[in-house]
Structure 1
Amino acid sequence: MLDRPQPVPASLPMLRTLPAALDPAVHPLHKARALVTQLEAAGVEPARALAGVGLQARDLDNVAARMSIRQLIGVFRNAHALVDDPLFALRGGLQCHLPMLGYFGLLLLTSANWKQLMTCFEKHRQHSTPVLGVNVSVSDAHCVMTYFDAHDLEPELFSFILDFHLGMALTYQRDLYGEGFQLAGVRLSRARPRHAAEIVELYGAPVRFGAARDEILWDRRWVGEPMRMADPLTAQALEEICGQLCEQIAAGSGVAGVVTRMLEEARHDFPGIDEVAARMHVTSRTLRRWLLAEGASYAGILDTVRARMAIRYLRATRMKTDEIARVLGFGATASFRTAFRRWTGRQPSDFRPRSRGRGDVPRIGQPVRDAAEAISDRLQLENQQG
């Protein structure tokens, strides 16, 4: 019998990730491209798959193109209407491998262990264009991944999208652990369909229909298994890239995007949440509630902005660590170092050019040399005058 999820020890984190806001066109087209490619193999022309969505077939091969969650749901809705095969979505998801998710997928693929994998999943899932919400928990015997609808989708469309994502989840686990990975079970809230035996065969595991939740389970022993393509240096580089890409998504999305831009524009004299709320003509309580609805918080956004600025100052300027700490609003350098380790898992010195004599560290993203050097010069002048 499959066990009920129990609270998990701190070393095996639980997480809950929400889908993104519906309308900002800030997400890469990875999933849309995979779905349209599979529809094309089934005889559906890309133009029909994208009809009424606001995307063109040429966008699918444009690495700079972006779409909204609503547009991706539109592609799923078209696919659901255009194919008669009730197993199309599940089979399609099973054909998707982690590299399909771009940098985010490669980051997961090169993670060292379960804990790092879950940390990356929670921090950067927005880069995967998430349509459904996900809970992950661990019991004494099983890992449990539960999917839920946070966009009030039509039940049949939700089931179609869910099948695609469950198929992807199974293939992703096999990418991580090898073809020997097997599910312990699947629970689906829908009634038992006529093709239930084929569903069981595709999952290779017992399937319970009419369940309270939609979820997949696998043996907890896999948590201790090494990731077969772990690569710490590659994961470290991809972590930075994914962080910056997710910041771009956040900067263009919802209330969190507005707050992010306000803090970025402040550069060093960061306004508190009360001041930010006043600028938006709402109370701080209302602003907190809005951010919570988007799965964000003022403290988390401030951390993200500070972390990005700190890395850029370290790489692009000759500012000392205590100067960077002062610019970012820390009362003590030790507090900045502690926060920096929490943000990145590394020391500030690791981000300096020619760190440890290994040659120049390449900079990723937009340079901030002019602004940073100006701040450094001002601090040096203040020190001389003092």
Structure 2
Amino acid sequence: MTARLDLPTIPPAVLSGLVEIGLREDRAVDRWFTGTDLTAAEVLNADSIKVSFRQAITVLRRAVGDMPGRPLGMQIGGRDLLLSLGMLGVAMRSAATVGEALAIGLELHQASGSLMDLELEAHDGATALRLHERRPEPELISFLCEEALCSTTVFVRSVVGPDWAPTRVELSYPPPPYAHRYERFFRCPVEFGAQANRSVFPFSTLELPFATRNEPTRAIAVDACRRLLDVGRGEPDVVAIVEALLEQNLRYPLSMSEVAARLHITERTLRRRLTAAGVSFSGVRDRVRQRRATALLRESTLPVAAVAHQVGYGDIREFRRAYVRWTGQPPSATRRAR
């Protein structure tokens, strides 16, 4: 488990939703937080703290274990937009189109407390929002997918109309006991045991306009989300922001000029700021890749070639050379050592 998973960078919106459900059902919610340095009361006051990925996952495991066989992820993701997405929802609703809103969401989704990583991809002649686990969590995969896909669906319906539905939803896990609720919520075919977790919809969806478009509001809300993500990282802001952007685009790596463009600064300015922080762009990129690759080698069963692809390498030989340079040993040694 990497040090990044211990940094308090995640708003506890998902945890607070679970605590509210637990309190309504008279569950011993304080037990969910034992040994995490958190309390149920703290996460209910979501504006006051941030939590680490490790803390969030620990609480989630206990909560889901305490309320098994329930569509908890659907309940959390299907809430009112401001409860599920917060300031990120404001930023996305102020965009011009679905495509622009999703671009904002892909960049800043962690500001809503998201525990999955997201990407848009072309899939079977359509567009798909694909979910990636930040760390393999087989006990929680259904909860994490439900929360992410339901909140996204609620968002799109809130701006383009309540009748919108994906073409289909694909999920890698077996049907849960309440599988019938998936089709009722998404209003489309749902495939279980698929190769990936994704929501598929026509390309034309990206061009749907928003009546709620407001550029000044979008700019303010996006800035607020970026500031929210900076809190608690314990590093120079520019390094934290660059790491966040690279982490969110590992499979299709961003160049230095592309990162600079997303930050609305010149490449020269970005290089100067990174140098002032004592790092280089290639050094930041390497440590992000190493961190993710090591986690996948230790905690997943993905073949080494698939791990290479997950961190942006199309050539497995190039990945092996890079991994030896980073760690002093080949990927196979890390895999065996787990």
TM class by shorter chain equals: 0.5 to 0.7
Query: Equivalent residue for 2:185?
Result: 202
Whether the aligned pair in 2 keeps the contact of 1:189 and 1:211 (CA below 8 Å) is yes
Name the structure 1 match of 2:158: 175
Q: After superposition, what is the alpha-carbon deviation per residue over 1:112-157, rounded to whole angstroms, capped at 9, x for unaligned?
A: 223431332233223123321212124585321111223122x122
Tell me which residue corresponds to 1:36. 19
1:305-355 per-residue CA deviation (whole Å, 9 max, x = no partner) reads xxxxxxxxxxxxxxxxxxxxxxxxxxxxxxxxxxxxxxxxxxxxxxxxxxx
Change in 2 beyond 3 A, CA 1:288/1:213: closer
Q: Which residue of 2 aligns with 1:116?
A: 100
Letter of the structure 2 residue corresponding to residue 217 of structure 1: V
Q: Taking structure 1 as reference, are residues 85 and 231 closer, same or farther at Cα in structure 2, changes over 3 Å only?
A: same
1:163 alignment partner in structure 2: 146
Q: Tell me the alpha carbon deviations over residues 288-320 of structure 1, each in whole angstroms, 9 at most, x when there is no partner.
A: 41044579xxxxxxxxxxxxxxxxxxxxxxxxx
Q: Which runs of 5+ in 2 are unaligned?
A: 244-268, 293-338
Output the CA distance in 1 between the equivalents of 2:101 and 2:167.
20
Question: TM-score, structure 2 length as denominator?
Answer: 0.66
1:290 aligns with 2:292: no
Residue in 1 that maps onto 2:57:
73
Residues 65-88 of structure 1, C-alpha deviation per residue, up to 9 Å, x if partnerless? Answer: 221111111221122111033323
Deviation at 1:107, TM superposition (A): 0.8
CA contact (8 A) 1:27 1:68 kept: yes
Residues 52 and 171 from structure 1, CA distance in 2 versus in 1: closer, same or farther, beyond 3 angstroms? farther
1:137 corresponds to which of 121, 125, 130: 121
Q: Percent of aligned positions with the same letter in both sequences?
A: 20
C-alpha RMSD over aligned residues? 3.6
Q: Decide which of 238, 243, 246 is 2:226's aligned counterpart.
A: 243
Q: Distance in 1 between matches of 2:6 and 2:236?
A: 8
Question: Which residue is equivalent to 2:169?
Answer: 186
Structure 2 residue identity aligned to 1:243 = R
Query: Contact 1:24/1:254 (CA < 8 Å) preserved in 2?
Result: no
| TM-score (norm: length of structure 1) | 0.59
May I ask how many residue pairs the two structures share in their alignment?
265
- Give 1:252 shift: 4.6
Asked which structure has the greater CA Rg, the reply is: 1
Q: Equivalences for 1:191-340 in 2 at 5 Å?
A: 191-248=174-231, 250-252=233-235, 256-257=239-240, 270=272, 276-277=278-279, 287-292=284-289
The correspondence of residues 37-52 of structure 1 with structure 2, limited to 5 A, is: 37-52=20-35
Q: CA separation in 2, counterparts of 1:103 and 1:193? A: 31
**Pairing 1:82–2:66 present:** yes
Output one character per residue of 1:37-73: Cα deviation in whole Å (capped at 9) or x when no partner.
2333343244234344321233121522221111111
Change in 2 beyond 3 A, CA 1:171/1:49: farther
1:135 is paired with a residue of what secondary structure?
Answer: strand
